[in-house]
């Protein structure tokens, strides 16, 4: 049964205001937000970060699996460091028990998955963390040519 974290309300939109929703099961953690999770968050971004931390604490990765994170946003013009957005900005401690066999991550440039009607904001960023087999292929990345 999924666990839903609080949904923050829609604007007024200040630099400290960050509408978000975090959902989790023992196998998958997903989060939607109106803005990306910043380094050293303030205001509601702290609640977003803490919601991710709490959800990650309840996640499990089996012995034949590793952690896989995906950040999705249609914004191809904003340069971001995907590893920082998914892991460093959350803090590494919540991932420690999930990365003993490794971790992978991807950046996806597309519209975010539907959040559902309970979110009262427009989601522009999506985090997804899941366990994948150790030898799994990338979910979104495709080779086009060898350089």
- CA 130 from chain centre, in angstroms, equals 10
Predicted confidence band of residue 140 (pLDDT cuts 50, 70, 90): low
In a domain, 48, yes or no: yes
In a domain, 138, yes or no: no
pLDDT at 35 over 80: yes
Domains in the chain: how many in total?
1
pLDDT in tens, 13-32: 344 567 899 999 999 999 99
pLDDT in tens, 41-89: 998 899 999 999 999 999 999 888 999 999 999 987 777 899 999 999 9
In a domain, 45, yes or no: yes
Contacts of 13 (CB under 8 A, 6+ apart): 34
pLDDT at 39 over 60: yes
Domain hosting residue 14, numbered range: 3-133
In a domain, 12, yes or no: yes
In a domain, 32, yes or no: yes
Handedness of CA 117, 121, 125, 129 (dihedral sign): negative
pLDDT at 6 over 50: no
């Amino acid at each position: 049964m999924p666990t839903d974290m609080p949904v923050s309300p829609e604007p007024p939109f200040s630099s400290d205001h960050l509408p978000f929703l975090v959902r989790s099961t023992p196998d998958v953690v997903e989060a939607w937000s109106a803005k990306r999770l910043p380094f050293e968050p303030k205001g509601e971004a702290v609640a977003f970060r803490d919601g991710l931390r709490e959800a990650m604490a309840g996640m499990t990765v089996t012995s034949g699996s590793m952690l896989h994170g995906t950040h999705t946003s249609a914004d191809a013009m904003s340069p971001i460091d995907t590893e920082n957005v998914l892991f460093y900005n959350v803090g590494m401690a919540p991932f420690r028990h999930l990365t003993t066999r490794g971790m992978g991550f991807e950046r996806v440039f597309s519209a975010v998955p539907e959040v559902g009607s309970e979110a009262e904001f427009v989601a522009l960023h999506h985090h997804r963390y899941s366990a994948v087999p150790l030898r799994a292929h990338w979910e979104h990345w495709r080779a086009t040519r060898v350089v």
